[in-house]
Structure 1
């Protein structure tokens, strides 16, 4: 019997698209045999936008894209009521791109997508030129200042970021409100309109833990990209494309994403994660596509400096929101907070003025000097150290920055790795037998 996942109902009401999905695979890939999913648009009334009246093949795009990756591995047939022809024709291209970045996948695409109708959609008249995906982070803000004005729309999809502790549709209501405030603030500075989109895809559709386990252990994915962000990253762009119906309705062809460019000394590399340029280049539908990612070859330290200089020249301030924490204030101690605060300090500014209300110079210096900043990729640490000028007196954390420059990124990273492993070492008391054996061998008293 064919294993299928079927989208059985698509309904648009006011500012919400509702979906009903049935899992007939017997594999329990969805959280339940019947799943109800939705996408909701905030501030849609300022555009006169409602998903009501849009073609079903356009309304289907967000959930279709989100479901497609599961067909690559399990031999599942995805059944949809209708599909856009451009998207349908490019499914093999999308598969090939993801296989290249996250794989190579061990087998040819074993599932498929079938639709009752394949529709060639004609784009409406263009009301805007670009959608700029906006999170408040460094890459997104840089894309925002590079694409200013009334012909661009800032779009935030906070539901892509994490499964929240409170089991609401985002990372908690406070987090949603913080994201809304961020996009409103930058909208006022950039003179671009804004739209906020939420969905329950990450929370309610897949049994993500089970699929992640299967991809690692049964399908043996071990690429750098998969080891970094796994199943979550595979679905990242598909989730952000909850914006597809809005883009189509507004006649917007060009989607702009900030690039997370990585450089380590002379080695230039694109980010190997769910936002990789090759992945975004592979996705097209109804005349809509991703343009070249913003800042594709611009280092993070340079992006931060560009943002701050742009704001200062206009007498403006904005917040750089990079924190992993689910809170209305940034924690200032997580990896991305520390990285961004160092970028700001290296640009000669105080992080307090740029969204890090909890920044304290003494506490921050102590944290960095104790080697508690440990980044997954040395490119970020190298970039920070390389941007510190020996001849500059910095208005904030001057001694810290010159100390960091003297230590150098390689020695700092080595010591940071040791510090991060200390908790594991301290847990050795739980295994007294093995500790005893090791000590005897080290002292030469054990049997050879």
Structure 2
């Protein structure tokens, strides 16, 4: 049977390193060093290895399930060990075309119990979802957990992480809160492209989005949540029941996660993204405090030109507010900027993105038509037919880019063959 063996966990003050070996045809899914690490802004040397093992198990176990492989570890926390059965069932329900099998073998299961001393910790990226969850749980004085998981085998200088960290620290200072800062290589030690090559078609989703990121992000915070005796870790929802999609971070997964005496809450799932914008603008309108929403992933500031930035900008506009007060350096002529973006990018929009984001923005803008700051948008945006414009743009793209598309697909296929040979 294919196996991964967690050979050693080493702890040095605020850092934990995991070293593992692989048996069978699994090495292609990992970078050659077989090493994962987490570094905190808190000392963790007194945290039991049964708790420290949780992040590694959480990152690797979904791969064990879909490849029918075995993960072997010396010791693991009982609460987390027990919860994995429900997590596995949740994934199986989301991805019925892949059989979730595999085994977790633990030599010693330890039961760690504590009396909670902190009511909440909240995962905090500085984005819309995270800030909305903060607003909803702020009376619990949450610890703010901010992470960067994209280092290679060691920590490198990162402008993105520096910007995220500075924003999180500034935000916490504004409200008299404490920061938990975590750096890791959990996003890179697994070779996601190889997993996607083998499983994307069956899953209908990527490894990172469909199976990995939720467990990776939540579990990284668990050793500190244990150290500080946190009752509940809150993670902001990314989706809503309006248009259900399979996702690694889902209430059926996250709400089943347990560690020692702690639990996890997937917050705000009942809210659409537009609902969250409404929570945001209403809170800061009453509070009269500036806020910098960080939307761009892997960018040190909001570019105001990508799909995610622009839909957030227009969501704020639709609520009758100026996005400049929420961390977006928008052009003076926003209407022209948006129209130019859609001409180039609408062909890449999926039906889901159109339905759960852009159409709701249009409807909200109609409801608040008398409060819209950027009046030029009213001349065309509310009546913009995304589905029709997408079809026309796709046709133009395919006609003009037929040969480059074919060449690119051939090159991609050849690169994958060599990468897996």
Q: What TM-score, normalized to structure 2?
A: 0.87
Q: Deviations over 1:110-144 (max 9, x none)?
A: x2111221111112x42311111111111111000
- 1:236 paired with 2:220, answer no
1:15-414 paired onto structure 2 within 5 Å: 15-32=14-31, 34-42=33-41, 44=42, 50-106=43-99, 109=101, 111-123=102-114, 125-149=115-139, 151-159=141-149, 163=150, 173-204=158-189, 206-216=190-200, 220-222=202-204, 226=205, 229-240=206-217, 241-262=219-240, 268-291=242-265, 293-324=266-297, 326-362=298-334, 363-367=336-340, 370=343, 372-373=345-346, 375-376=349-350, 377=352, 378-389=355-366, 392-394=369-371, 396-407=373-384, 411-414=385-388
In structure 2, the CA distance between the partners of 1:274 and 1:429, relative to structure 1 (3 Å rule), is closer
Checking the alignment, whether the CA contact within 8 Å between 1:28 and 1:207 is kept in structure 2 is no
**Structure number with bigger Rg:** 1
CA distance in 2, matches of 1:210, 1:357: 38
The offset of 1:12, in angstroms, is 1.5
Task: Mark the CA change 1:84 to 1:430 in structure 2 (over 3 Å): closer, same or farther.
Answer: closer
Check whether the contact 2:320–2:368 (CA below 8 A) recurs between aligned residues: no
**Paired residue secondary structure (1:20):** strand
Structure with a larger share of its residues in helix: 2
C-alpha distance in structure 2 between counterparts of 1:257 and 1:328, whole Å: 22
> Aligned partners of 1:10 and 1:397: how far apart in 2?
55
Kept after mapping to 1: 8 A contact 2:35/2:153: no
Mapped to 2, the partners of 1:323 and 1:359 lie a distance apart of 17
Deviation, structure 1 residue 58: 0.5
Q: Residue 294 of structure 2 contacts residue 301 of structure 2 at CA under 8 Å; is this kept in 1?
A: no
C-alpha RMSD of the superposition:
2.6
Q: Is the 8 A contact 1:369 1:400 kept in 2?
A: no
- For 1:444, the equivalent position in structure 2 comes to none
User: In the aligned structure 1, how far is the partner of 2:309 from the partner of 2:197?
Assistant: 30
Task: Return closer, same or farther for 1:149/1:421 CA change in 2, 3 Å cut-off.
Answer: farther
* Post-superposition CA distance 1:269-325 (Å, at most 9, x none): 44431211111123222122212x32222222221122122123222111111124x
**Structure 1: which 5+ residue stretches go unaligned?**
45-49, 433-448
How far apart, CA to CA, are the structure 1 residues paired with 2:195 and 2:23? Answer: 16
In structure 2, distance between residues paired with 1:76 and 1:430: 40
Which consecutive residues of structure 2, in runs of 5 or more, have no partner in the other structure?
407-421
What CA deviation, in whole Å up to 9, does each residue of 1:30-74 have, x standing for no partner?
Answer: 4356512210113x3xxxxx2101111001111111111121122
Distance between the aligned counterparts of 1:335 and 1:116, measured in 2? 48
2:412 paired residue number:
none
Aligned residues: 400
Distance 1:429 1:25 in 2: 40
State the alpha-carbon separation in 1 of the partners of residues 26 and 34 from structure 2: 15
**Mapped contact 2:305–2:341 kept (Cα < 8 A):** no
CA–CA distance in structure 1, aligned partners of residues 330 and 154 of structure 2: 27
Checking the alignment, whether the CA contact within 8 Å between 1:375 and 1:381 is kept in structure 2 is no
**1:8 aligned partner:** 7
**Alpha carbons of 1:33 and 1:320: their partners in 2 closer, same or farther (altered >3 Å)?**
closer
CA distance in 2, matches of 1:288, 1:4: 30
CA distance in 2, matches of 1:314, 1:421: 48
TM-score normalised by L of structure 1: 0.82
Moved more, 336-345 or 147-156: 147-156
